[in-house]
Homo-oligomer: A and B are copies of this chain.
Amino acid sequence: MKVVVKEITLSTQSRFQLIDITSEVESIVENSGVKNGIALVFAPHATAAIIANEHESGLINDIIDKVKEFTEPGSSKWRHNIIDDNAHAHIGSALFGAERVFPVVNGKLIRGTWQNIFLLEMDGPRSRRRVYVVVMGE
């Protein structure tokens, strides 16, 4: 069995942003030496998430609009905003999840045609966001 752990680092430029990390993740999987198994894509952050979907600019803005609508940034109803004005980002990260898991088959990451992998920033801009990729299998 092989376990390969790599880290992707990136910066974000806006409060809300989707950053496409598909090619970085695919390259880690292809260089891992793992033929069949899984790849875990995990953000060690409580105000960001990992999602998989289509890289189309209209849709990217639609997803961000829905996240804003769901999490209500700046709302006075969030108690956490008294401490730090980012309750919305914590709520989004908690409920949508900070990780996604993909199959690895014949040395390649399995994903649908329209399933690109993104870091969903909800509390940017940040100079350093990290994403762990764990590739595990035979």
Please count how many residues in chain A sit with their CB below 8 Å of the partner chain's CB atoms: 62
Cross-chain contact of A91 among B42, B47, B63, B134 (Cβ < 8 A): B63
Q: Is A46 an interface residue (CB 8 A)?
A: yes
Nearest-Cβ distance from residue A49 to partner chain B, whole angstroms: 8
Q: Roughly how many angstroms separate A86 CA and B41 CA in the complex, as a whole number?
A: 26
Encoded as 1 (CB less than 8 Å from any B CB) or 0, chain A from 1 to 30 comes to 111010000000000000000000000000
Q: Roughly how many angstroms separate A38 CA and B79 CA in the complex, as a whole number?
A: 33
Return chain B residues, CB-CB under 8 Å to A62. 77-80, 87, 90-91
Nearest-Cβ distance from residue A2 to partner chain B, whole angstroms: 8
Please state if A136 and B137 are interface contacts (CB–CB under 8 Å).
yes
Return chain B residues, CB-CB under 8 Å to A44. 110-112, 115
